[in-house]
Amino acid sequence: MGENKITESRPYGQPIPEVTRVEEIFAPLPRSFRVLLGVKMKKFLWVIDCISIFIGKAVSYLMLAVVFIITYEVIARYVFKSPTQWANEAMGMACALVYIMAGAWALQSDKHMKLELVYSKFSERGRAVLDVATFGFFALYIVMLLWSTSKFSLESILLLETSSSSWNPPVYPIKSGLAIGTALILIQGIAKFIRDIHLLVKGEKI
């Protein structure tokens, strides 16, 4: 006699049910643990957002300094015929810091330039699919940029590098800022990727 087997009763021809939702994988875990995991994730993403917003808003005030520098240089050059040696260089450094250090804030608030003609035609879920599909390209580019800026900033710090111009300001703080800003963009990009995955899996934002 063969061994008795217990089979699941279901209508003839109906396929064996499969796990179709990711949360079913974690169903065996205690509910309290799953709730704690969700709360911790929300708090983690909230902290990342707060850091990006705070640093982005802080460095944005450098644009006021840029406006002042430009105004001062124009008056000094064309009114008093006495151009400065530092204005153009200082303006370039300030703009570089604002550009990279505020990048994470722009990503968090979805202000980066996109192909809106195509992107805007998709639903929120469709846009999440596109963002998830292209995340690998984003991560590859930012990781390579982070590696190069970190390498250059470390070398600059060890050498106490200056610009070698007539003004000759130190440039290692600027290069360090570029590396930090790139790291912030990568972290914020990972946070967005987590949110997109959550939207696709559960159909709701986190």
Radius of gyration of the chain (CA): 26
Report if residue 19 sits inside a domain: no
Say what percent of the chain tops pLDDT 90: 62
Q: Please give the average per-residue pLDDT across 197-205, as a whole number.
A: 84
Say what percent of the chain tops pLDDT 70: 80
In this predicted structure, the answer to whether residue 43 has a pLDDT above a threshold of 60 is: yes
Number of domains composing the chain: 1
Report if residue 11 sits inside a domain: no
Report if residue 8 sits inside a domain: no
Please answer whether residues 94 and 69 qualify as being in contact, where contact means their C-beta atoms are separated by less than 8 angstroms.
yes
Report if residue 174 sits inside a domain: yes
* Overall size of the chain counted in residues: 206
> What pLDDT is attached to residue 28?
55
In this predicted structure, the answer to whether residue 161 has a pLDDT above a threshold of 60 is: yes
> Quick one: pLDDT band at residue 33, thresholds 50, 70, 90?
very low
Q: What is the mean pLDDT of the chain?
A: 83
In this predicted structure, the answer to whether residue 41 has a pLDDT above a threshold of 50 is: yes
> What pLDDT is attached to residue 10?
47
In this predicted structure, the answer to whether residue 142 has a pLDDT above a threshold of 70 is: yes
In this predicted structure, the answer to whether residue 118 has a pLDDT above a threshold of 80 is: no
What residue numbers bound the domain in which 55 lies? 29-202
Helix, coil or strand: residue 121: coil
pTM of the shown model: 0.79
- pLDDT higher for 29 or 194? 194
Report if residue 69 sits inside a domain: yes
In this predicted structure, the answer to whether residue 66 has a pLDDT above a threshold of 50 is: yes
Report if residue 12 sits inside a domain: no
Provide the Cα torsion 91, 96, 101, 106; round to 10°: 100
Report if residue 91 sits inside a domain: yes
Please answer whether residues 49 and 191 qualify as being in contact, where contact means their C-beta atoms are separated by less than 8 angstroms.
yes
In this predicted structure, the answer to whether residue 117 has a pLDDT above a threshold of 80 is: no
Structure tokens at 84: 């400065």
Report if residue 179 sits inside a domain: yes
Helix, coil or strand: residue 170: strand
Which alpha helices (H) appear in the chain, and where do they start and end?
31-60, 62-78, 87-101, 103-108, 116-119, 124-159, 172-202
Q: Please give the average per-residue pLDDT across 157-177, as a whole number.
A: 93
